[in-house]
């Protein structure tokens, strides 16, 4: 019988510098399996830079990042994704060429599983077709999960902004991730959409998927996060439960009172 690992992701002393300015400076924290961890901070605090370092888009200058005991520093983004770490972006990325549909966009998430080698393409086409059929069925299942089954044949650009975010989330889930990195997924959503999205995140966690969430919507963060890391000017300012973060005077100061007001709404 094996013990459950204490952390699925470990960020240790990560530093990233741009033209002599520290975007990240000696940042460390762990994420436990099955948890939702929020990463918050003022604009320019280094949150997206940290996500880029974790998933291989922009490796750190120094420090270590371990995902499921694999050192991911120096690995390309697709190699990191292959380990089970999937990512959404602050700016929505939709595939529209050749009249691509919502279903097509979700299917793009299956590229890791659907890479037939030359032998399979020439001599075992039936196997590839079976895999493609299974991928389409899975993509439809995920569209049902996020509430967009009826939009499968629509073009992504015809959907409201909030639904486009759900398409991107379904595409990330298509990779069968063990962990999701979500970069401001509630940006641009109205209050009703945020409430629905909060419930969706809870459902994802119930599937056993760990989440690291970058988000400015403090009401969502306080409702969903198991614990929170606060960045300010590239440094870790605080880490703890939502209750502890709400009561932290340094965090309140960094947010100029915004965090305190949101916490009062939740009390």
Hey, how many other C-beta atoms are within 10 angstroms of the C-beta on 253? 13
CA distances from 44 to 39, 47, 241 (A): 13, 8, 23
Q: Which CATH number fits the domain that encloses residue 229?
A: 3.40.50.300
Q: Is residue 78 located within the same domain as residue 181?
A: yes
**Residue ending a domain, choose from 176, 211, 233:** 176
Query: Parallel, antiparallel, or unpaired for β 62-67 and 70-71?
Result: antiparallel
* pLDDT tens per residue across all 267 residues of the chain: 445 558 999 999 999 999 888 999 999 999 999 999 999 998 889 999 999 999 999 999 999 999 998 999 999 998 998 899 998 876 677 776 777 899 988 988 876 554 544 444 444 555 557 777 888 889 999 999 999 999 999 998 899 888 998 999 999 999 899 999 999 988 888 889 899 999 999 999 999 999 999 998 988 999 999 999 999 999 999 999 999 998 898 888 877 565 554 665 454
Total length of the chain:
267
Q: How far apart are CA 104 and CA 87, in angstroms?
A: 18
pLDDT (0 to 100) of residue 199: 94
pLDDT (0 to 100) of residue 256: 53
| 12 part of a folded domain | no
Q: Is residue 135 located within the same domain as residue 245?
A: no
pLDDT (0 to 100) of residue 1: 41
Count structural domains, the chain: 2
Q: Is residue 164 located within the same domain as residue 182?
A: no
List the domain range (segments joined by +) for residue 238. 34-84+177-267
Q: How far apart are CA 198 and CA 190, in angstroms?
A: 12
């Amino acid at each position: 019988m094996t013990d459950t690992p204490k952390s699925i992701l470990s960020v240790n002393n990560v530093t990233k510098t741009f033209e002599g300015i520290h975007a990240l400076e000696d940042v460390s924290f762990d994420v436990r399996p099955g948890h939702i961890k929020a990463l918050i901070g003022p604009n320019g605090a280094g949150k997206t830079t940290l996500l880029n370092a974790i998933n291989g888009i922009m490796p750190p200058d120094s420090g270590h990042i371990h995902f499921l005991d694999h050192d991911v520093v120096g690995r390309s983004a697709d190699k990191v994704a292959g380990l089970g770490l999937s990512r959404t972006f602050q700016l929505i990325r939709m595939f529209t060429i050749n009249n691509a549909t919502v279903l097509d966009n979700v299917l793009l998430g299956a590229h890791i599983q659907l890479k037939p080698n030359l032998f399979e393409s020439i001599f075992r086409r039936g196997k590839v077709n079976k895999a493609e059929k299974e991928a389409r069925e899975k993509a439809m299942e995920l569209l049902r999960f996020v509430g967009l089954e009826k939009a499968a044949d629509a073009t992504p650009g015809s959907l409201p902004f909030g639904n486009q975010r759900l398409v991107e989330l379904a595409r990330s889930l298509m990779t069968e991730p063990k962990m999701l990195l979500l970069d401001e997924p509630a940006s641009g959503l109205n209050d009703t959409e945020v409430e629905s999205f909060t419930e969706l995140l809870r459902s994802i966690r119930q599937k056993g998927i760990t989440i690291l969430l970058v988000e400015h919507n403090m009401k969502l963060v306080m409702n969903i996060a198991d614990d929170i890391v606060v960045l300010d000017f590239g440094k870790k300012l605080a880490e703890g439960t939502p209750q502890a973060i709400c009561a932290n005077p340094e965090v309140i100061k960094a947010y100029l009172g915004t965090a305190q007001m949101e916490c009062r709404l939740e009390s």
